[in-house]
Structure 1
Amino acid sequence: MTRPVVHKSEPVTLVGAGVFNADDLTLALKHAPSLVAADGGGNALVGHVQAPLAVIGDLDSLTNKARAAFSKVMHHVGEQDTTDFEKCLTRIAAPVILAVGFTGGRLDHTLSALNTMARHRDRPVILIGPDDISFLVPHSKITLDLPVATRLSLMPLADARVDTKGLRWEIRDTALHPVRAASISNETTAPQVDIHAMGPLLITLPQAALVAAITAVRAG
């Protein structure tokens, strides 16, 4: 079993090497003040007001400036069977990980992050982008407190049997699959939404719903 490099009782912010803006990082740190970088994500933190507690990965993407700045907190994981994102998820113990810099830029990196999340459903991760947030239904069910008319999309990452309550277009004990059926741009019709999913189901909400998502994921 992999021992944690970072162990926190509160949410942790994880920065990747993808494209993100300063506002996204500021938002994440507001709710998850402990900061960790995944390999090249450390480059964006050089000179940042807050230094990372750890830089985790194979460290092949770190600049010399980042290596000098974070030499005391670098944790080299040399094996090449996993991505830096996966290396971090298996070495951070926290109730929620807010991941910034994993959905912008290269599409293959975004798809890789979703693949990692689907294979590590026990790790509660919320991806933060400039407009949206995405996360998996934890432990087969989740209850979200959201304003009525909030946009909500459901995308299965593998076979998933789904049942919902509180959406405009309800899903009733239906089998969803990435290449067959999903629920994109659905909408809440009640202040509380219940979603049950047997299988990896990705929820996407507006970024403004981050607090509600953190609360629901932690409760799950």
Structure 2
Amino acid sequence: MARPGGTGTSPPEAAEVTVVVVAGGDPPSPGEIARLPDRAVVVAADHGLDHAYAAGLEVAVAVGDMDSVSPEALSAAEQAGTRVECHPVDKDQTDLELALEWAARLADRVIVIGAGGGRVDHLLGNLAVVASPRWAGTDIEVWLGEARAVVAHGRRALEAEPGATVSLFAVGGPARVTTTGLAWSLRDEVLEPLSGRGVSNRVVDAPAYIQVSEGVVLAVLP
């Protein structure tokens, strides 16, 4: 993982990197920071810039309306040559959406950290944003402490040991799902968005897989 003091130069080719989006919710835990890939490109969403610097990360892009970032972090980013993209406070997109637009252009895999927080509406909004069909060509997962939420638009591996709990939620409409490696399998079956059918399944064979042929599924591993 890159550390502060970089020059803000262009990242490697998209297929070669993972992008870490640091959101402005709760600060990511030391365990989350330790698990991040070494060569990840970091995009900070507003106050996520403070979280990134506090964790010792080098930021390639900082984006948002900058209404909650500290003046010290913003000044440090400008001095480091980080690209800073400031948007109006009165905007239609959240800071996380703006950061994901950058992330989706830079890489095929995105890890979002710092997306949790004291406000339930922020957490629900962040999970809805990452599950948008706009990012169908990008593998996205959200780290929330020891929990993970993995977005599945097609085939996704669920990296978890046997015995781990996994819950599947259709987002935005019905989803047609096939699973392997789970205790209660789905075979080209439909999950409804307002149903608890996918809650509290269990991994029996690792890696487990989920195949979504229609719709979007959020797989939560608590």
- The answer to whether the 8 A contact 1:39-1:62 is kept is yes
Number of aligned pairs?
201
Given the two structures, how large is their TM-score scaled by the length of structure 2?
0.79
Alignment of 1:92-103 (within 5 A): 92=103, 93-103=106-116
Given the two structures, how large is their TM-score scaled by the length of structure 1?
0.80
> Which residue does the alignment assign to 1:81?
92
> Which residue does the alignment assign to 1:176?
191
Shift of 1:15: 0.8
Shift of 1:25: 4.2
Identity percentage over the alignment? 25
**Distance change in 2, residues 1:56/1:195 (3 Å):** same
Shift of 1:58: 1.8
> Which residue does the alignment assign to 1:51?
58
Q: Considering fraction of residues, name the structure with more helix.
A: 1
User: Is 1:155–2:165 an aligned residue pair?
Assistant: no
**Distance change in 2, residues 1:102/1:32 (3 Å):** farther
> Which residue does the alignment assign to 2:129?
116
Shift of 1:27: 2.9
Separation (CA, whole Å) in 2 of partners of 1:171 and 1:19:
35
Measured on the aligned residues, the alpha-carbon RMSD in Å equals: 2.4
Per-residue CA deviations over 1:73-132 (Å, capped at 9, x if unaligned) read: 211233711111111111121121111111233211111112212223323221001121
Alignment of 1:1-220 (within 5 A): 8=14, 9-31=16-38, 33-46=40-53, 48-71=55-78, 72-73=81-82, 74-78=84-88, 80-92=91-103, 93-119=106-132, 120-122=134-136, 123-138=138-153, 140-144=154-158, 146-158=160-172, 159-197=174-212, 198-206=214-222
SS of 1:70's equivalent in the other structure is: helix
